[in-house]
Amino acid sequence: MASSLLDRVKRPPPSAETFIAAAEAPPTSAPAAATVSTVPSNDTADPLTKAIDLEPSASPPKARPAPRVRHTPSEDPRKHDVPRYTFNLRLNDYELELLRSLAEETRESMQKIVKNGLIPYLEGLRSKQPREK
């Protein structure tokens, strides 16, 4: 019989080692408490394996922050900001179906496809226009 939701809430969450051991254990007919099996250490084992076995409580290394992108002085620094705005784009049935099929073929989102085509087009239009002073 499966445990009730209340039982699941009362039990503390399993540790990572317990969870992995339970997942790797062969299925049994009756649910049993998961136990952590220890691997006997021998001198012929890989030194890396020994280090991992000896330090189970070591925390994983912290992720490095993304490297800062350097911009050319003439480039607008807002170009690489996180997008925060939306607008509606009206498409007819043909245009929408064309976009959907292209997104399915390339396995990308429709938004990404439109943005990848639209931004370079707009930048090209800007560079062709004479600048007002």
Q: Which of 1-5, 18-22, 54-58, 59-63 has the highest mean pLDDT?
A: 18-22
| Interval 43-53: pLDDT, tens | 555 555 555 55
Q: Which helix (H) or strand (E) holds 69?
A: none
Q: What is the mean pLDDT of residues 78-88?
A: 84
pTM: 0.41
**Domain residue spans in the chain?**
89-128
Calpha distance 52→104 (Å, rounded): 43
When computed from its CA atoms, the radius of gyration of the chain, rounded to whole angstroms, is 28
